[in-house]
Amino acid sequence: MYFANISDAKASLSRLIEMVSNGEDVVIGKANKPVARIIPFDKDQSNRKGGQWNGRIKISDDFDTLPGDIQDAFDGKLQ
């Protein structure tokens, strides 16, 4: 693990990124206390697909209908 203070990290960000891309752990500290860690970006390569909840959820027929008093409040009829 490589530890760099913020001032060192500012001056050598490219080198730190290169170290991370080569598998080394890099920790950035402030006043010699760790505050951040640089890790490699790992994009999930799998494609997402929908439909896993198909048939498992039921939405009531009146889902989009508000009760009268709440509808009145939205319409500005209640004072």
0.75 surpassed by pTM:
no
Q: What is the pLDDT along the chain (79 residues), one digit of tens a residue?
A: 999 999 999 999 999 999 999 999 999 999 999 999 999 988 777 787 889 999 999 999 988 899 989 999 999 887 6
CATH entry, 2-38, from 3.20.20.150, 3.40.1620.10, 3.10.20.90, 3.40.50.300: 3.40.1620.10
Relative to beta strand 26-30, strand 33-38 is: antiparallel
In the chain, domain spans: 2-38
DSSP class of residue 67 equals P
The Cα 4–Cα 12 span in angstroms is: 9
